[in-house]
Amino acid sequence: MDTKETVLNILADLTGNDVSGSMDENLFDSGLLDSMGTVQLLLQLQTELGIEAPVSEFERSEWDTPNKIIAKVEELQ
């Protein structure tokens, strides 16, 4: 499974929605992701993809769409 597919699967599990059709939708503005979801997202990314993304260094504006999340994960890998 590639990075994009893994991230989309994690987002689908966390939000209960398939976000693959709205890759530039702001997940926070749409209510699909909140602070608790963010922590869960970072923990899942760490577990499944081995990336280190501490909550203390989390910039919401860099992680607010599926495309940005995928790009950030690829940058951290």
What would the two tokens of residue 60 be?
Answer: 């919401």
Contact partners, residue 77, CB within 8 Å, separation at least 6: 3, 49, 50, 51
Right CATH for 3-76 from 3.40.1190.10, 3.40.50.720, 1.10.1200.10, 3.40.50.740:
1.10.1200.10
Q: Where are the domains of the chain?
A: 3-76
What would the two tokens of residue 72 be?
Answer: 């950030």
More confident residue, 1 or 18: 18
User: What is the model's pLDDT at position 54?
Assistant: 81
pLDDT one-digit tens code per residue, 7-62: 999 999 999 999 999 999 999 999 999 999 999 999 999 999 999 888 888 889 99
Contact partners, residue 43, CB within 8 Å, separation at least 6: none
Contact partners, residue 18, CB within 8 Å, separation at least 6: 8, 12
Question: What's the pTM value of the predicted model, to 2 decimals?
Answer: 0.91
